[in-house]
Structure 1
Amino acid sequence: MISSSQMRALEINSEVFGVSTLQLMENAGRSVVEEIEKIMSVDDAKAVIFVGHGGKGGDGLVVARHLSDMGASVEVVTLGEIKHKDAIANFNAIEDMDYSIKLTKFDYNMKSLTADILVDAMLGTGVKGIIREPFASAISLFNSSKGFKVSIDVPSGIDPDSGDVLGDHVRPDLVVTFHDVKPGLLKHDFKVVVKKIGIPKEATVYVGPGDLLVNVKPREMRSRKGAGGRVLVVGGSATFSGAPALSALASLRTGADLVYVASPERTAEAISSYSPDLIALKLTGRNFNEANLKELENWIEKVNAVVFGPGLGLAEETLKATRPFVEMVMKMGKPLVLDADGLKIMKGSRLARNVVITPHPGEFKIFFGEDPREKERDRIQQVIEKAKECNCVVLLKGYMDVISNGESFKINKTGNPGMTAGGTGDTLTGIVATFLAQGIDPFMSAGLGAMVNGLAGTLAYKELGPHLTASDVISRIPKVLNDPINSFKEKIYKRVIIS
């Protein structure tokens, strides 16, 4: 099954991998005609296509063209202005076909029609809420008309994800849906055929801009402080102060409204001097220790996600306090990104489904007791197995980033040679934490974090070459988030051959 948002992400990803949405629309419409042909002869048949203003309407316009080309008498009934860019291209083509295709604007006074073929191309997977006019009346007219009725993708008036009826709905003899079954179809007794329309496997396997656009929602005008998420970064030690600061700054640049950095007292003072945007919390002691657990409990309660590990160090008192802290965060149900020294200390642990660990190959060996496998396909399978073993999301960093929750996997192939600079892993951690704080699924948060970090690094690399720093990556995160499609097109491809 595939949800409407997942399908939209695949369509966008397909475009950046070279298969345009116009091509997908053409394939979709042609596949509908193929299914109609299996049932009846279309030569000399009369067909009426009810066309909405979105992408589904565009599919219907393709159906109209192909039926006409095959000898059918075709009438297209439009329900308002065509708005989808690819549908407009098909509508413009049909406008010039006035000899073979009749264009009619929907009229409330229309009586029931009689045709051999009636095609529902009115409302698609983007439909929300109760059906309004003129669609409500058009659905009624469609149902009362006589002929073999076909719905494209999902019958108009049915929520594609929940199956809820949004007022009245089309009652088709056949539903031709694309790529995979929509969950809402399973709630009804429709005859459904699934057709592949040319979405490349890469659109599913690789993290792409479509995943970002459908998961990261635009900020509403009436948003209040905290709408972008609150993040707590716990890290730093008597020796290290930069790592937690980089995670926190990356989190802010990704869209978190409030980021707290909790570090040992002297370290917190250093962190607060880096930027006035950071809220530094001073913890008792020179290194993270058991006394800090009580100090942090209320702060954990306040935030939406926690980062633990950057610059933490491996002092004896830190080793004793780490497991109780991680268990406290998990018991409180907060999403957690476990990184760097934090995951080294927690090696071999079984964690929780809302925990993301971000090991590089050396940390992967420490945590799981084995090196990452060399062959790409073997490495993917290994990460799936290990994610299931530790009951968490694993983001294995490397030439090919592999992300898995133990069931599904994603690959990130953005990045460049300059990303070997120290601190770029800390920026990744902060990005992932913000997506978690915004309520995005941990598996998707990890994949999006890897892609955004890689694209931001590539924008820096194109300007600076291999002389970039983690701060250069952070400064370019907003550009990636504001324009993920063009940022993705700018990337330096990792030529990943999965064999």
Structure 2
Amino acid sequence: MITTQEMRALEINSEALGVSTLQLMENAGRSVADEIEKELGKNLEVVVFVGHGGKGGDGLVAARHLAERENKVTVISLGEMKHKDGMVNVSAVENMDYSITMLGFDDLLGEVKADVLIDAMLGTGVKGRIREPFASAIRVFNKSKGFKVSIDVPSGIDPDLGEELGEYVRPDLVVTFHDVKPGLLKREFRFVIKKIGIPPEASLYVGPGDILVNVRPRPMKSRKGAGGRVLVIGGNETFSGAPALAALASLRTGADLVYVASPERTAEIISSLSPDLISVKLSGKNINEDNLTELDKWIDKVNSVVLGPGLGLADETVRAVPALVNKIVEKGKPLVLDADGLKIMKGSKLNDMVVITPHPGEFKIFFGEDQRERERERINQVVDKARECNCIVLLKGYLDIVSDGRRFKLNKTGNPGMTVGGTGDTLTGIIATFLAQGIDPFTSASLGAFVNGLAGTLAFKEMGAHITASDVVSKIAMVIGDPITSFKQKIYKRVIS
């Protein structure tokens, strides 16, 4: 099963991998023609009702292929094509003026009679109630005589919910693509699933499509806080840079407000690093149990929390952190647990709103075993461990692996320069912002790995192995703003063994 949002991400990822959406449209339309031939044979009279989106483009491809197979084909257009790939196929069909008859919907005098009627009107992008001329076209389609085939989903049916959006097509068969849409499973439509050439890597790896469908442009009337509020808890009397890097990465990812809660002396240093950071001074030299009450109001203020960067392993901190984790979880706040926070919480069963981001050494400390050598075995290991700790695990490395215990995603956007200190802190800040914006933890972790690695790759492309974590922060906005162009930069090939 695949939602419309997931399908859109796969299409974008496919194009980024070199399989164009025009190729996918060609495969989709041809598969419709193949299924009709399989169902009804040849020498058919076919009428295709074509809308102005991608589904209309699929219908035009089907019309071309059916005409090539010596069927009598008529295309009824419901308006000007607006889809870029569909426009290519409009041109192709218009040039087939001997084998295909082109009509406008206004040219129809009444109901249609044919061997096959193809619904290529409204696809997965349909929103709200069905408007004219589509409502009238759907009524004509349903009343017409012939075997009725809908492409992907019947026009007028919500593809994810299965709800009727007013007038809707009542097909004899639905030819859907790649995987079944949730809405089809909620109705009694007969359907077949056709593969259209989307490479497995489009769903296996995080790609630019995942960014584009999950990270939406902010509305013009947005108010302060719409980008999310993040609290970073970390730092000690020795380390101040790690929490600051996490906070700066969080801001650059799009959070509106980022608070950094650190021991008093550390907080003073952090506030001097950037005027963009809101520094919260906690009592003591290290995070301690007295800070739990102090942190209450700050946890309440935010949408997500980071715990761990620069935290240290002082005895008072080790005593305080488990209670702090419980407090954050009990308040229902998504949490990114990293660095020393992971070490303190080793072996714990956590929560499905918690993301942990271990490198191989931290993975061994937290789970008590080394990561496996072979990539496929390591993927299974991460899935098993995520299920065991009831949290999202992002194992950082040459190939990042993300799992929630049921599914997994891989990320291959990193580079050798990201062995520099601080890039793990930037990762936690990026993930925290996605969590604060309401994106689910598994997706947030996957997007975070992609953005952090690709930002590092853009920096590496300029400076080679001389990059710093601050350089990674400086490229985050570029990746989120134009993930497709960013993705086309040099990527180090990953081999799954």
- TM-score when scaled to structure 2? 0.99
* Aligned match of 2:292: 293
Q: CA deviation at 1:109?
A: 6.2
Q: Distance in 1 between matches of 2:378 and 2:12?
A: 27
Partner of 1:352: 351
Q: Percent identity?
A: 73
C-alpha distance after superposition, 1:472-497 (max 9, x if no partner):
0000101001100110111422322x
Q: 2:92 — aligned with what? A: 93
Name 1:34's counterpart in structure 2. 34
Structure 2 match to 1:335: 334
Secondary structure of 1:107's counterpart equals helix
What is the Cα deviation at residue 302 of structure 1?
1.1
Conserved 8 A contact 1:269-1:280: yes
Partner residue of 2:168?
A: 169
Q: What is the match of residue 23 of structure 1?
A: 23
Tell whether the 8 Å contact from 1:399 to 1:494 is kept in structure 2 after alignment: no
Instruction: Give the Å deviation of 1:42.
Output: 2.7
Match of 1:369 in 2: 368
Q: What does residue 260 of structure 2 align with?
A: 261
Provide the secondary structure at the position in 2 that maps to 1:313. coil
Amino acid at match of 2:273: Y
Deviations 1:327-361 (A, max 9, x none): 01011111000000001100000000010000000
8 Å Cα contact 2:399-2:494 kept in structure 1:
no
Letter in 2 for 1:302: K
Aligned to 2:392: 393
Question: Structure 1: any 5+ residue segments left out of the alignment?
Answer: none
AA at the equivalent of 1:27: N
Work out whether 1:438 is the aligned partner of 2:437: yes
One-letter amino acid of the structure 1 residue matched with residue 217 of structure 2 = P
Residue of structure 2 in register with 1:456 after alignment? 455
- The answer to whether the 8 Å contact 1:414/1:491 transfers is no
Q: Is the 8 A contact 1:33 1:66 kept in 2?
A: yes
> Which string of whole-angstrom CA distances, capped at 9 and with x for unpartnered residues, describes residues 17-74 of structure 1?
111111111111111111111221232x211111111111110000000010001111
- Superposed displacement of residue 133, structure 1: 1.0
Question: What is the alpha-carbon distance in structure 2 between the residues aligned to residue 362 and residue 71 of structure 1?
Answer: 65
C-alpha distance after superposition, 1:197-249 (max 9, x if no partner):
11111001000011111111110011111111100000000010000000000
Query: How far did residue 107 of structure 1 move?
Result: 1.6
Q: Distance in 1 between matches of 2:286 and 2:393?
A: 27
Q: What does 1:71-82 align with in structure 2 at a 5 Å threshold?
A: 71-82=70-81
Q: Is the 8 A contact 1:231 1:305 kept in 2?
A: yes
Task: Decide whether the 8 Å contact of 1:402 with 1:412 is kept in 2.
Answer: yes
CA contact (8 A) 1:415 1:494 kept: no
CA positional deviation for 1:271: 0.4
Larger deviation, residues 357-366 vs 84-93: 84-93
Q: What amino acid sits opposite 1:26 in the alignment?
A: E
User: 2:191 corresponds to which residue?
Assistant: 192
Distance in 2 (CA, whole Å) between partners of 1:246 and 1:446 is 17
Q: How does 1:206-245 map to 2 (within 5 A)?
A: 206-245=205-244
8 A Cα contact 2:420 2:468, kept in partner: yes
Matched, 1:447 2:440: no
Equivalent-residue separation in structure 1 for 2:426 and 2:109 (angstroms): 60
Post-superposition Cα deviations, 1:258-280, rounded to whole Å, max 9, x if no partner, equal 10000000100100011111000
Say whether residues 1:488 and 2:483 are aligned partners: no
Greater shift after overlay, 105-114 or 174-183? 105-114
Deviating more after overlay: 349-358 vs 89-98: 89-98
331-340 or 30-39: bigger deviation: 30-39
1:15, distance to aligned residue in structure 2 (A): 0.8
Kindly provide the amino acid, as one letter, of the partner of residue 35 in structure 2.
E
- Taking the aligned partners of 1:379 and 1:75, their CA distance within structure 2 comes to 54
1:444, CA displacement in angstroms? Answer: 0.7
Q: Which amino acid aligns with 1:335?
A: P
State the 1:110 CA deviation.
Answer: 3.8
CA contact (8 A) 2:51 2:78 kept: yes
Residue identity matched to 1:430: G
Deviations 1:112-167 (A, max 9, x none): 11011100001111111111111111111111111110000000000000001000
SS at match of 1:282: strand
Kindly indicate whether the alpha-carbon contact (under 8 Å) linking 1:244 and 1:311 is maintained by their aligned counterparts in 2: yes
TM-score (norm. length: structure 1): 0.99
CA distance in 1, matches of 2:273, 2:91: 57
Q: How far did residue 104 of structure 1 move?
A: 1.3
Aligned with 2:473: secondary structure?
Answer: helix
How far has the Cα of 1:307 moved from its partner? 0.2
Rounded to whole Å, the distance in 2 between the matches of 1:297 and 1:104 is 67
One-letter code aligned to 2:354: V
Q: How far off its partner does 1:98 sit?
A: 1.2
Secondary structure, aligned partner of 1:204: helix
CA–CA distance in 2 between the matches of 1:290 and 1:494? 46
Give the 5 Å matches for 1:279-318. 279-318=278-317
Partner deviation per Cα, 1:296-324 (whole Å, 9 max, x = no partner)? 11111111100000000000100000000
Inter-partner Cα distance in structure 2 for 1:70 and 1:87: 21
Shift of 1:80: 1.3
Q: CA deviation at 1:108?
A: 8.2
Corresponding residue pairs, total: 497
Q: What's the secondary structure of 2:149's corresponding residue?
A: strand
Distance between the aligned counterparts of 1:153 and 1:109, measured in 2? 25
Alignment check: 8 A CA contact 2:48 2:74 kept = yes
Amino acid at match of 1:391: N
Q: Which residue of 1 aligns with 2:8?
A: 8
**Cα distance in structure 1, aligned partners of 2:465 and 2:493:** 16
Letter paired with 1:34: D
CA distance in 1, matches of 2:109, 2:19: 39
SS of the counterpart of 1:124? coil
**Greater shift after overlay, 318-327 or 135-144?**
135-144
Q: Is the 8 A contact 1:310 1:339 kept in 2?
A: yes
Contact 1:116 1:148 in 2 (8 A): yes
CA RMSD across the alignment: 0.9
Tell me by how many angstroms 1:105 deviates.
1.5
Q: How does 1:53-68 map to 2 (within 5 A)?
A: 53-68=52-67
User: How many angstroms apart in 2 are the aligned matches of 1:125 and 1:53?
Assistant: 13
Q: Deviations over 1:362-410 (max 9, x none)?
A: 0000000001000000000000000000000000000010000000000
The amino acid of 2:314's aligned partner reads A
Question: 2: distance between equivalents of 1:236 and 1:251?
Answer: 16
For residue 42 of structure 2, give the secondary structure of its aligned residue in structure 1. coil
